[in-house]
């Protein structure tokens, strides 16, 4: 190993000049990073030990209920509610955003009113409102206004059971927020893109779907990921109208066995797990819609790990050269 270091510069044999060699410097040390890491590690370990040894937590209860069938069915319903509400509200949100940005004053005002109403009142109140809609309208009927002619009439509580009410509340509320996110994404697309699309004879609707929305997605997806995680946790609010999602099930169980803290821990574990899983599709969606924006796409986590493994020989060489000096 004949690695030259800075202390032994090489003289070029032909020209007699000193060639600057590769720099093999001693890396800058960061002692405070180590101090802080150790300090925090001690803190977390002692917190963990104190929780573990806390006599108020009955560990067997946690292990008993983490995969309990009732809890699992709650998890499934929570996921279904989140997925359905997000999908439908996104479609609605796009529609509202397009209405809001259209030249049509009627559409424009309607979208503005919608966002104003659904964003301006608390989600909890909207959930209760949809859950108890039967108190406002006992019957829902379809007919011609100002006449007695009706096509059908149905009992409100039959038409809208608790689950539907919960889904309606989450979806309609989320649509108002999504609309603003989609609108901001559409506004971020350059005016020249519309002009280019129009100049090749694309209609406004075709331009929207083929040119504007795909570019807006890049801006829309990160906040939408945020909204999805919020939605997942907001489904727990449906416990007020007794929809059997994760949190409702857990409170039902703990009201029987009086193990509130244990079941809250079970529920928290599940929410943490689900939110972690949700960030994976977001990452890949961002990558997909980022194409064409950067000259090279950022690596996926797998590619990053592989690159890290491939880079390790460099570290080996550095230690070798240090040994040589």
Partner 1 sequence: MTTSAAPASAATSPGTLRRAADAPVEPLLSALKVRKSYGGVEVLKGISLAVNPGQVMCLLGPSGSGKSTFLRCINHLERIDGGRISVNGELVGYAQRRDRIFEMNPREVARQRRGIGMVFQRFNLFPHMTALENITAAPIGVRRISKQKAKERGLELLDRVGLANLAQSYPAQLSGGQQQRVAIARALAMDPKLLLFDEPTSALDPELVGDVLDVMRTLAADGMTMVVVTHEIGFARGAADVVVFMDGGVVVETGPPAVVLDNPQSARTKAFLDSVM
CA 254-75-242 angle, to 5 degrees, is 55
DSSP string, 241-283: GT--SHHHHHHHHHHHH--HHHHHHHHHHHHHHHHHHHHHHHH
**Angle subtended by helix axes 69-101 and 162-187, to nearest 10:** 40
Judged by beta carbon, residue 109 or residue 193, the one nearer partner 1 is 193
Judged by beta carbon, residue 145 or residue 192, the one nearer partner 1 is 192
Question: Per rule CB under 8 A, is residue 199 in the interface with partner 1?
Answer: yes
Question: Per rule CB under 8 A, is residue 204 in the interface with partner 1?
Answer: yes
- The single residue among 19, 21, 155, 195 that binds partner 1, judged by CB under 8 A, is 195
Judged by beta carbon, residue 207 or residue 254, the one nearer partner 1 is 207
CB of residue 165 vs partner 1: minimum separation in angstroms? Answer: 39
Question: Per rule CB under 8 A, is residue 106 in the interface with partner 1?
Answer: no
Q: Decide: helix, strand or coil at residue 16.
A: coil
Question: Per rule CB under 8 A, is residue 198 in the interface with partner 1?
Answer: yes
Both tokens of residue 130?
């949809």
The 10 Å Cβ neighbour count of residue 276 is: 10
Looking only at residues 283 through 312 of this chain, which bind partner 1 when binding is defined by CB under 8 A?
289, 291-295
Judged by beta carbon, residue 102 or residue 158, the one nearer partner 1 is 102
Asked if 278 and 79 count as a contact pair (C-beta separation under 8 A), the reply is no
Question: Per rule CB under 8 A, is residue 196 in the interface with partner 1?
Answer: yes
Bridge partners of 18, per DSSP, are 11
- The single residue among 132, 158, 210, 272 that binds partner 1, judged by CB under 8 A, is 210
Residues 6+ apart with CB under 8 A from 59: 52
Per-position x/- string for 267-286, each x denoting binding to partner 1 as judged by CB under 8 A, each - no binding: --------------------
CB of residue 188 vs partner 1: minimum separation in angstroms? Answer: 12
Burial of residue 90 (CB within 10 Å: 0-12, 13-18, 19+) is buried
Question: Per rule CB under 8 A, is residue 105 in the interface with partner 1?
Answer: no
- The single residue among 186, 211, 220, 224 that binds partner 1, judged by CB under 8 A, is 211
d(CA 45, CA 43): 6
Judged by beta carbon, residue 57 or residue 189, the one nearer partner 1 is 189
Q: What's the distance, CA 22 to chain centroid?
A: 45
Question: Per rule CB under 8 A, is residue 102 in the interface with partner 1?
Answer: no
Question: Which residues contact partner 1 (rule: CB under 8 A)?
Answer: 190, 192-193, 195-204, 206, 210-211, 214-215, 289, 291-295
């Amino acid at each position: 190993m004949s690695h030259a270091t800075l202390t032994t510069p090489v003289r070029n044999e032909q020209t007699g000049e000193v060639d600057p060699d590769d720099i093999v410097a001693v890396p800058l040390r960061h002692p405070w990073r180590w101090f802080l890491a150790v300090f925090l590690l001690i803190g977390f370990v002692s917190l963990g030990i104190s929780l573990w040894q806390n006599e108020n937590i009955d560990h067997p209860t946690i292990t008993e209920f983490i995969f309990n069938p009732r809890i699992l069915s709650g998890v499934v319903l929570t996921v279904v509610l989140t997925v359905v509400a997000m999908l439908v509200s996104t479609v609605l949100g796009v529609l509202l955003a397009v209405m809001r940005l259209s030249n049509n004053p009627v559409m424009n005002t309607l979208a503005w009113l919608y966002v104003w109403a659904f964003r301006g009142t608390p989600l909890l109140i909207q959930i209760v409102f949809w859950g108890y809609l039967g108190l406002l309208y006992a019957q829902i009927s379809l007919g011609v206004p100002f006449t007695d002619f009706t096509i059908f009439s149905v009992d409100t509580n039959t038409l809208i059971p608790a689950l539907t009410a919960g889904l309606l509340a989450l979806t309609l509320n989320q649509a108002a927020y999504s609309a603003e996110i989609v609108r901001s994404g559409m506004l971020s697309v350059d005016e020249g893109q519309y002009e280019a699309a129009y100049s090749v004879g694309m209609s406004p609707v075709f331009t929207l779907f083929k040119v504007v929305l795909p570019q807006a997605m890049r801006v829309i997806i990160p906040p939408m990921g945020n909204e999805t995680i919020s939605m997942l946790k907001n489904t727990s609010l449906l416990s007020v109208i007794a929809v059997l999602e994760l949190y409702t099930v857990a409170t039902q169980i703990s009201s029987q066995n009086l193990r509130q803290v244990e079941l809250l821990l079970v529920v928290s574990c599940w929410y943490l797990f689900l939110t972690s899983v949700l960030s994976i599709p977001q990452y890949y969606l961002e990558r997909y819609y980022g194409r064409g924006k950067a000259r090279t796409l950022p690596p996926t986590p797998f590619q990053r790990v592989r690159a890290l493994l491939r880079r390790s020989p460099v570290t080996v060489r550095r230690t070798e050269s240090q040994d040589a000096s």
